[in-house]
Amino acid sequence: MNLNLKAAALAIVLAVSPAAFAGSGGMHGMEGMPKGDITKAEFLKLAETHFNKMDTNNDGVVSLEERKAWHKQMRAKHAEMRANRASAPATK
């Protein structure tokens, strides 16, 4: 695995808090992360998937512009999720 992919995997881990992975129901949490234990191979596969989503021009490099666009997209998605939770009826 090349250094850029390892760096992207580390950035994903550091950028997303563990609480974000605690999805509601099902066997996967946010962004397809398993809610339970995960092997190194599974983690690296997920990291590569995220890298590929960020690398919008498919050149094997996530540029600063691509990272900024990805973060903007994720901030909007998370804001929408927070708004949906806030407007959802309270459960007992």
Q: What is the pLDDT of residue 75?
A: 96
% of the chain residues with pLDDT over 90: 52
The model's pTM: 0.56
Query: Mean pLDDT in the chain?
Result: 78
DSSP output for 11-71: HHHHHS-GGGG--SSSSB-GGG-BSS---HHHHHHHHHHHHHHH-TT-SS---HHHHHHHH
